[in-house]
Amino acid sequence: IKPKSMKLSEWITLNVGGKYFTTSRSTLTSKEPTSMLARMFANNEDDYLFIPSNMDSKGAYLIDRSPTYFEPILNYLRSGHLIYDSNVNPEGILQEAKFFGIDSIIPQLENLRVQKKTDVPLT
Amino acid sequence: IKPKSMKLSEWITLNVGGKYFTTSRSTLTSKEPTSMLARMFANNEDDYLFIPSNMDSKGAYLIDRSPTYFEPILNYLRSGHLIYDSNVNPEGILQEAKFFGIDSIIPQLENLRVQKKTDVPLT
Amino acid sequence: IKPKSMKLSEWITLNVGGKYFTTSRSTLTSKEPTSMLARMFANNEDDYLFIPSNMDSKGAYLIDRSPTYFEPILNYLRSGHLIYDSNVNPEGILQEAKFFGIDSIIPQLENLRVQKKTDVPLT
Amino acid sequence: IKPKSMKLSEWITLNVGGKYFTTSRSTLTSKEPTSMLARMFANNEDDYLFIPSNMDSKGAYLIDRSPTYFEPILNYLRSGHLIYDSNVNPEGILQEAKFFGIDSIIPQLENLRVQKKTDVPLT
Amino acid sequence: IKPKSMKLSEWITLNVGGKYFTTSRSTLTSKEPTSMLARMFANNEDDYLFIPSNMDSKGAYLIDRSPTYFEPILNYLRSGHLIYDSNVNPEGILQEAKFFGIDSIIPQLENLRVQKKTDVPLT
């Protein structure tokens, strides 16, 4: 198997709310090609829905969202698995999945919300 | 829908107690326009209540408050949802909401305090 | 009300054990003026007990203590409230309160220790 | 005993998804010499399976994976012990162990998954 | 009392696995003078067991170990108290105490391991 990090892909740094994430264009665009996130970084200009966001002084793309909850989203795009630590609130991941249009994990996250509501009042 | 990060808005970096947050002027000013935070960064000079705080050597606005508890406040202004991880103390968020004048989440946070008081003695 | 960050005060960066904290001289000196921390940064030279500690190459004052447990101490000086997350060990905050001479929170923290000792053997 | 950090080894900095890790070539290659990770950084060019990944502007090797779950993997290669904090999801470590080919800890991590499945539905 | 940070001591920055820690030579050498860590940074050249490790481009001493579990070790050398947060795995601290030769806290940490083993299967 050829690992992702070895692909001849362009490296991209995102400044999500002040925290830096380094990833490849293929990670952002391959898994869910029709998502807003994928279309922000699409190789093919015809696929663009939006112009890319501004860059900061270090050349990182600025995204005005929560870095905490973006992290599991990005890991999902990297590994194909939605995994998060026990202290992380899945409600936060759900909001980011909706914002970036990562539709494939939304049902799973909404399911968790339903389960929790039966236990304790949600924040 | 047009995502926030695509808005033609000015990017602002805050140095909150030593930690950097990057966001847009519209995030800081749109959701609660009469809050102290919004008025610190208001576009219209007539709306200013205060002169903006000092800047550090990297051009970030200095704010002498807790970064830990400012983070969910900023995420609320970004996404419209108050979300925080299970290990975060909501009492800390409440103090920041009061300081910055983000009135719309104060009742919800004070409610949590009441609920907790019935369970365990508060710190 | 006039927020702290708006005060005409001098900004100070501390390098506590390798982590940077940005705050104002007034935060460090106003709340507990007779504490060791306040006297390290006192405006009035007559109040000095000690010469200030060394500075690092970025102009931050070097303090050889734990950043994790200094953080709630600094937040207390900022907001007047002692607040910490559920995973943070209050024993660590107590040691820093004693080291820096922040006497007003010591009884509260020692009380917590007594309560805990009745439950589980302390580390 | 001669500590690892004293070995005449080459220091390597990895940029894993935006977070920096500093380690030595011997740590990456000695413990599991046939793993993909070891072969990425093998001293002997004959052992290369892949060309090393790209470098960022600071000279760090770019790896497009989760820094959170890479950390216990690297600590395992350093100390020979798989140790992680109570809030960390072992499922995430398992995915990275599989990706990097650190086979010796996979059974232990898969075992944990089985145990958990009997308790609570897995994410 | 004269605080540690006021001692006429040399400041030292350690790069432990990619994370920076700032401390003084006296903190590293006074508490446990015969430990490997103390001897790495001993003032008296006769006490050297090892030559100091390499430095990175910022002048920090490179140590190829886990930063997470080094932190409570360093705090112990600073304050004389072994304190860690509830989510931190004491098994990790034990491994670092053994590696750096901080013998005075090893029995306490091994004791914790014994206690835990009676409760739940150890990782």
Structure confidence at residue E102 (pLDDT): 97
Cα(A19)–Cα(A37) distance, integer angstroms: 17
- CB contacts of B17 in chain C (<8 Å) are 21-23, 74-75, 78
Cα(C9)–Cα(B120) distance, integer angstroms: 39
D-contacting residues in A 8-27 (Cβ below 8 Å):
11, 13, 19-24, 27
- Among B17, B18, B123, whose Cβ lies nearest the Cβ of C82? B123
Structure confidence at residue E120 (pLDDT): 46
Structure confidence at residue E83 (pLDDT): 95
Q: Which residue is associated with the tokens 């949802």?
A: B81
Superfamily of domain D11-119: Potassium Channel Kv1.1; Chain A (3.30.710.10)
Mean residue pLDDT of chain A comes to 84
CA distance, residue E73 to nearest chain C CA (Å): 11
CB contact under 8 A, A50 and B6: yes
CA distance, residue B114 to nearest chain C CA (Å): 16
Q: Which residue is associated with the tokens 């006429």?
A: E8
B120 pLDDT above the threshold of 50: no
CB contact under 8 A, E65 and D21: no
| Interface contact D119, partner E, CB < 8 A | no
Structure confidence at residue D123 (pLDDT): 46
- Among D36, D68, D87, whose Cβ lies nearest the Cβ of A86? D87
E-contacting residues in D 35-74 (Cβ below 8 Å):
71, 74
Asked: is E7-119 a CATH 3.40.1110.10 domain? The reply is: no
Q: Which residue is associated with the tokens 């600073």?
A: E78
Token pair belonging to A113: 């919300």
Q: How do the domains of chain E map onto residue ranges? A: 7-119
Of residues C16 and C3, more confidence is placed in C16
Residue of B nearest to C68 (CA): B68
Find the mean pLDDT for residues E99-111: 96
Chains interfacing with E (3 or more CB pairs < 8 Å): C, D
B53 pLDDT above the threshold of 90: no
pLDDT tens for residues C75-99? 999 999 999 999 999 999 999 999 9
Residue of D nearest to A68 (CA): D68
Find the mean pLDDT for residues C47-55: 60
Residue of D nearest to A87 (CA): D87
Q: Which of C20, C2, C49 is nearest to C11 (CA)?
A: C20
CB contact under 8 A, C79 and B86: no
CA distance, residue A9 to nearest chain D CA (Å): 10
Flag whether the ipTM exceeds 0.90. Answer: no
- CB contacts of A92 in chain B (<8 Å) are 75, 81, 83-85
B118 — pLDDT class (breaks 50, 70, 90): low
Cα(C65)–Cα(A104) distance, integer angstroms: 46
Chains interfacing with B (3 or more CB pairs < 8 Å): A, C
- Residues constituting chain D: 123
B44 pLDDT above the threshold of 80: no
Structure confidence at residue D47 (pLDDT): 52
Residue of B nearest to A52 (CA): B6
CB contact under 8 A, E85 and C86: no
Strands (E), chain B: 11-16, 19-24, 61-63
pLDDT tens for residues C6-42? 444 589 999 999 999 999 999 999 999 999 999 988 8
Strands D19-24 and E11-16: unpaired
Structure confidence at residue D4 (pLDDT): 41
pLDDT tens for residues E49-104? 445 558 888 989 999 999 999 999 999 999 999 999 999 999 999 999 999 999 99
D92 pLDDT above the threshold of 70: yes
Strands (E), chain E: 11-16, 19-24, 61-63
pLDDT tens for residues B86-104? 999 999 999 999 999 999 9
| Interface contact C119, partner B, CB < 8 A | no
Cα(E105)–Cα(A45) distance, integer angstroms: 60
Structure confidence at residue D42 (pLDDT): 84
H or E stretch at C62 = strand C61-63
Residues paired with residue C24 on neighbouring β-strands, in sequence order:
C11
Find the mean pLDDT for residues B47-70: 80
Find the mean pLDDT for residues C48-61: 73
Cα(A123)–Cα(B72) distance, integer angstroms: 12
Asked: is A9-119 a CATH 3.60.10.10 domain? The reply is: no
CA distance, residue B91 to nearest chain C CA (Å): 7
C48 pLDDT above the threshold of 60: no
Q: Which residue is associated with the tokens 């270090």?
A: A58
Strands (E), chain D: 11-16, 19-24, 61-63
A121 — pLDDT class (breaks 50, 70, 90): very low
B114 pLDDT above the threshold of 80: no
CATH topology of domain C10-119: Potassium Channel Kv1.1; Chain A (3.30.710)
- Among B36, B86, B87, whose Cβ lies nearest the Cβ of C3? B36
- Among E50, E62, E89, whose Cβ lies nearest the Cβ of D83? E89
- CB contacts of A74 in chain D (<8 Å) are 17
Mean residue pLDDT of chain B comes to 84
E121 pLDDT above the threshold of 50: no
pLDDT tens for residues B2-29? 444 444 458 999 999 999 999 999 999 9
CB contact under 8 A, A112 and D91: no
Structure confidence at residue D112 (pLDDT): 85
Dihedral over Cα of A108, A113, A114, A120: its sign: positive
C46 — pLDDT class (breaks 50, 70, 90): low
H or E stretch at C12 = strand C11-16
Which residues have CB under 8 Å from D28's CB, separation 6+? Answer: D12, D37, D38, D40, D41, D77
